[in-house]
Amino acid sequence: MALLAQYVVGGLAVGSLYALVALGIVLLYRTSRILNFAHGDLATFGTFIAFALISTAHWPFAAASAGSLLATALVGAAFFFLVIRPAKEATLLGKIVITLGLALILQGATAVFWGTDTKTMPFPLSDTKVYRLGEVVISQISLGSFAVGLVLMAGLYVLVQRTRVGLAMRAVSQDMVAAQVLGIPVRRIFALTWGLASALGAAAGILLAPVTLLDPYMMLDPFLKGFAAAVLGGIDSMPGAAVGGLLLGVVEALFGAYVSVKFKTTLAFLIIIAVLVIRPEGLLGREYKRRV
């Protein structure tokens, strides 16, 4: 039982980061109905900005992280204004292809600026210092990442559900035309959503960097896991994205421990297939009905 609890705690720590990635995906999809396939590369780019600020500019970790989140948010917002908005007449598939193009551009920019060699991210928390919660052992870095992940998820919930900006975001996601009629600055809300989603991805990247190490493709696997978590919880449900991320982290940890470590990576794809076949709207998503 103690070993099971150990795996669950470890899975929750990783799952909280999957949830951050999933929340960024869901936030964009709810507002603009676009699946951003550059989400992982935006997160990687933001993580490398934090690395540069720490290692080259010698900023403190907290200031470098805040600066990278702001820079990544500005990149995401600029991409909306300069590319997505002018291509508003493009099909859904066309917009997805545009985000794939951004992903390739960011991959190339990351390789040019920082190279392709693996780098180590300076981090204030230790992977060797551990705490005991009864018979469960958790490292300082896992506990810190889990705590920060929960704080960011709670902060996003408060922003969306308890503020005027969040009300505007929900109004735009429900009916963009009606929101415009009511005087809501729809384009600014879209830009804010892109920036916020990009910053969430970068936060996950910074927290994952000490474990995965830094390279231009470091967020490929976490992005796929975050996408799987979003599908599992419900692609239009923010609580579902959080639950899906935590649940995926736990299931992945238990699968690797009791079934197979080799096939643990493929579990996310199996979950996507199973959810789309059995319950396409996800665990907490709503069935989408369209009147013809």
The answer to whether 16 and 222 are in contact (CB under 8 A) is no
Domain annotation for the chain: domains and CATH numbers: 2-278 (1.10.3470)
Q: Who's near 285: CB < 8 A, 6+ residues apart?
A: 233, 234, 235, 236, 237, 240
What is residue 182's three-state secondary structure?
coil
* Residue 48 amino acid letter: F
In angstroms, rounded to a whole number, what is the distance separating the alpha carbons of residues 223 and 152?
Answer: 18
Q: What is the pLDDT of residue 289?
A: 52
Which residue has tokens 């996507």?
272
Question: For the chain, which ranges sit under pLDDT 50?
Answer: 290-292
Q: What is the pLDDT of residue 206?
A: 94
Q: What is the pLDDT of residue 288?
A: 52
The widest CA-to-CA distance across the chain, in whole angstroms, is 60
The answer to whether 114 and 236 are in contact (CB under 8 A) is no
In angstroms, rounded to a whole number, what is the distance separating the alpha carbons of residues 54 and 31?
Answer: 34
Q: Give the Å distances, CA to CA, from 215 to 2, 70, 211.
A: 35, 21, 12
Q: What is the pLDDT of residue 290?
A: 46
What would the pLDDT profile of 225-278 be if each residue is shown by its tens digit?
999 999 999 888 888 999 999 999 999 989 888 887 777 778 888 888 888 888
Q: What is the pLDDT of residue 287?
A: 62
The answer to whether 208 and 36 are in contact (CB under 8 A) is no
Q: Give the predicted TM-score (pTM) of the model.
A: 0.91
In angstroms, rounded to a whole number, what is the distance separating the alpha carbons of residues 79 and 138?
Answer: 39
In 104-165, beta strands by DSSP E? 130-133, 136-139
The answer to whether 240 and 283 are in contact (CB under 8 A) is yes
